[in-house]
Amino acid sequence: MFTQKSARLRRRALPIVSGLCFVALLLLGASASAGADSQADGGARPTIVLVHGDWADASSWSSVIKRLQSKGFTVVAPPNLLRGPVTDAPYLAGYLKSISGPIVLVAHSYGTVLTTHILHDSDLSPIISSTVFIDPIPFLLHLPSVAFNFVYRKPRTANEWQLWYFASRDIDVSRTLSRHFFWAENVLWKEELVGPRVGVVLSGADQIVNAEGVRKYLTGEQQIIGEGGMSRHWKDGLELLFYPGLDHAMVFDTKDRRKAVLEIVHRFVQLQ
């Protein structure tokens, strides 16, 4: 999951890759109206930074970034080396330090692990105006769910077999997780969430993340009023979407689901 070798698996992990690509499309849909509002109020326009997860690379954003830039946004998708947080996080931090002005940081899956390191950086956290975590790994990482689901669980469903065969049993991935990935270095507590606006998108049947546990942890609520299969929570700058029954990255599979995520990003950009 966190090694160079895993990049060779990206073509076989289409659901996750497609989910990552949809993030950029969401931003594209929001660009026209958000750009107009920013120009009208004269405020500093943030740079939108897209941090992809595993089984992908930054080149997947190229054509979309050009279209967003034509609408007036500054959008970048820095390379993610996929060598593990010890290497990848400092690389991303160096990239972000070269950006002038506020940043809206949008991350998916493994990208949210790197986002945790950015929020822990005292030099960088003040310029992160908003963050969006999609299928986040770092919350409740001190509990065994992520390690068990990714490394030790016996696969039963097709998705679990895909994860087990192409990632969990990869020798480099196993070595990295067993010897070079420590929960205390990658966990994110809710008290550490930076900025007035934080978005979290959870898939209830996520095969890696204990999404229900994360939802309860972040909101402090046992139940949230649902909206056509999707539950929404707003509180003190946190906006959380919870989709019961969806697996990792499946939130991007339909127009209605993508629209709800688009609305979060749209608001975060407009409110700068």
| Rounded CA separation 206/194 (Å) | 25
- Greater confidence (170 vs 15) lies with 170
Q: How far is 104 from 231, CA to CA, in rounded Å?
A: 24
pLDDT digits (tens, 9 = 90+) for 40-68: 445 578 888 988 877 656 565 565 566 55
What angle is formed at CA 56 by the lines to CA 53 and CA 60, rounded to 5 degrees?
115
35 pLDDT more than 70: no
Section 238-266 average pLDDT: 82
* Secondary structure element (H or E) that encloses residue 41, with its range: helix 14-41
State which residues form the domain around 227.
Answer: 5-270
**How crowded is residue 142: how many other Cβ atoms within 10 Å of its Cβ?**
11
Domain count, the chain: 1
> How many other C-beta atoms lie within 10 A of the C-beta of residue 144?
12
> How many CB atoms within 10 Å of residue 122?
6
Percent of residues, the chain, with pLDDT higher than 70:
72
For residue range 84-133, what is the model confidence (pLDDT) as tens digits?
Answer: 888 899 999 999 999 988 998 989 888 999 999 999 999 999 999 999 99
- Here the CATH number for the domain that contains residue 240 is 3.40.50.1820
- Entry pTM: 0.80
* Residues sharing a CB contact under 8 Å with residue 48, sequence separation 6 or more, in sequence order: 27, 68, 73, 74, 75, 76, 103, 104, 106, 265, 269
CA 47, 53, 58, 59 dihedral sign is: negative
Backbone dihedral angles phi then psi of residue 76, each to the nearest 5 degrees: -135, 155
**Above 60 in pLDDT, residue 8?**
no
Beta bridge partners of 202: 242
What's the pLDDT at 261?
75
